[in-house]
Amino acid sequence: MRTMIKALLALAALGVAAGGAQGQTIAPQGRIPDTQAQMKMSFAPLVHRVKPAVVNVYASRVEKMPRNPLMDDPFFRRFFGGGDQGAPRERTQRSLGSGVIVDSSGFVVTNQHVIEGMTEVKVALSDKREFEADIVLRDPRTDLAILKIKSSEPFTALDLGDSDALEVGDLVLAVGNPFGVGQTVTSGIVSALARTQVGVSDYQFFIQTDAAINPGNSGGALVDVNGRLIGVNTAIFSQSGGSHGIGFAIPSNMVKVVVASARSGGKSVRRPWFGGKLQAVSSDLTESLGLDRPIGALVASVVDKSPASEAGLKAGDVILSVDGQEVDDPDGFGFRFATKPLGGTATLTVLRGGKKLTVPVKLSVAPETRPRDTVVLKGRWPLAGATVMNASPAVAEELSAEIGVNGVIVADIAQGSPAAELGLKKGDVILEVDENKVATTRDLEKLAKPRQYYWKLVVQRAGEVLTTAVGG
């Protein structure tokens, strides 16, 4: 059989030569492996290098269940048992995911949603060893978190690659722990870059891949053919819960920012503040803005005394690039700007009145212009269970709230609370209660009084002011 194949290949080669003599060149599309070494070509050497740096992440927390009030009744205790049955019980919540060691000292990057709300974390290496780990940094805005393995021994770590150097069609491997079956490797290509509208973080700028990613892969590694980490697997598009060949990874250039913050001892990620509201360029606006296609980020408004304002940016400007990197839309700008190091400037290419301008913008953090004075609202009223802070540029940036707002911003909502039932969301700005303007968290706390009829609330969400009446 092999002799026949070689004979056919020889005839094909003669045909190519004959075609060449007539002025035609036919390039062979491939060849059949004719040696054992060629037949054994695989990703195995790459996998051997990558696997020790990819870990399984096991997170848990212990919750106390409320004491059964019926156990206070002697009659109930008589028929249903006494003892400690009325005492608070405990329930353990668990989460399973993957992670990647990015520093030999034991720093591990994973997804924030893998360890969200969890207090205890363990990581398991590919060689079955397990270690406890501390959660050193959570960054909900990127859906990333950093763990630190509790051990002084050196670990195998992956180098962080340059996600901006990726091209559609590049080969990639996904490594993780899908469905908890154990470490698994899948291969594929980069299907698309700069994917937006995925909805799992504030920075919508994902690598799309067809390498199989399933539940449990979250926090795992997406690596290139050189074994460098170029993405952290974070989400899939699926109607069944299984892989449909559409997976998304957070680019390594965003991962670098979060890892650097953890290495420096930071408990949160400090990013540059732009201080402007952006919107997409629609097809209807393209011609009037002097563009030949809908591209760039249109400046809708600018906050006073912000870096955007100090740089001279104005409503109607179109941002086309950041430090020479093209910007397709506001999400693209948000990613490019957020991955710049603090200090110095970023150079924006801006279209204004049909002319291109070069505008330097300072890379500085959003200021906390007044104390946040965090308050957890209590009492018998619709806002009970909400954690609120005084609005400032720093708080608005941190909570992805409307920029330049005044009032009180919702920072968190307790599950099952009246505020959650009301539909209040993180980032909402509470402006008024019963026609009383709310300037500070203490103003709001004083308004927590029972009403005989209803409460009237005015809330700002994503630039829209909402008014509602809630029964007492």
The answer to whether 218 is annotated as binding is yes
For residue 260, which of 271, 275, 249, 250 has the smallest C-alpha distance?
271
Whole-number Cα distances in Å, 36 to 1, 46, 47, 254, 286:
16, 20, 21, 42, 58
Candidate list 98, 201, 218, 417, residue with the active-site label: 218
- Check if 321 is active-site: no
Cβ(90)–Cβ(67) under 8 Å? no
Q: Is 143 annotated as a binding residue?
A: yes
Based on the residue annotation, tell me whether 143 is a catalytic residue of this protein: yes
CB-facing half-sphere around the CA of 169: CA atoms within 13 A: 0
Q: Which of 159, 121, 161, 158 is nearest to 138 (CA)?
A: 121
List the catalytic residue out of 143, 210, 224, 317.
143
3-state secondary structure the chain: CHHHHHHHHHHHHHHHHHHHHCCCCCCCCCCCCCCHHHHCCCCHHHHHHHHHHEEEEEEEEEEEECCCHHHHCHHHHHHHCCCCCCCCEEEEEEEEEEEEECCCCCEEEEEHHHHCCCCEEEEECCCCCEEEEEEEEEECCCCEEEEEECCCCCCCCCCECCHHHCCCCCEEEEEECHHHCCCEEEEEEEEEEEECCCCCCCCCCEEEECCCCCCCCCCCEEECCCCCEEEEEEEECCCCCCCCCCEEEEEHHHHHHHHHHHHCCCCCCCCCCCCEEEEECCHHHHCCCCCCCCCCEEEEEECCCCHHHHCCCCCCCEEEEECCEECCCHHHHHHHHHCCCCCCEEEEEEEECCEEEEEEEECCCCCCCCCCCCEECCCCCCCCCEEEEECCHHHHHHCCCCCCCCCEEEEEECCCCHHHHHCCCCCCEEEEECCEECCCHHHHHHCCCCCCCEEEEEEEECCEEEEEEEEC
Specify the residue for token string 């870096």: 307
| 216 in a known ligand binding site | yes
Q: Does 264 carry a binding-site annotation?
A: no
**Which residue among 95, 98, 103, 113 is the active-site one?**
113
The answer to whether residue 48 is catalytic is no
**Residue 252: CB partners within 8 Å, gap ≥ 6?**
160, 161, 162, 163, 228, 229, 230, 231, 232
Indicate the annotated binding residues for substrate. Answer: 113, 143, 216-218
Q: Which residues are catalytic?
A: 113, 143, 218
The binding site consists of 113, 143, 216-218
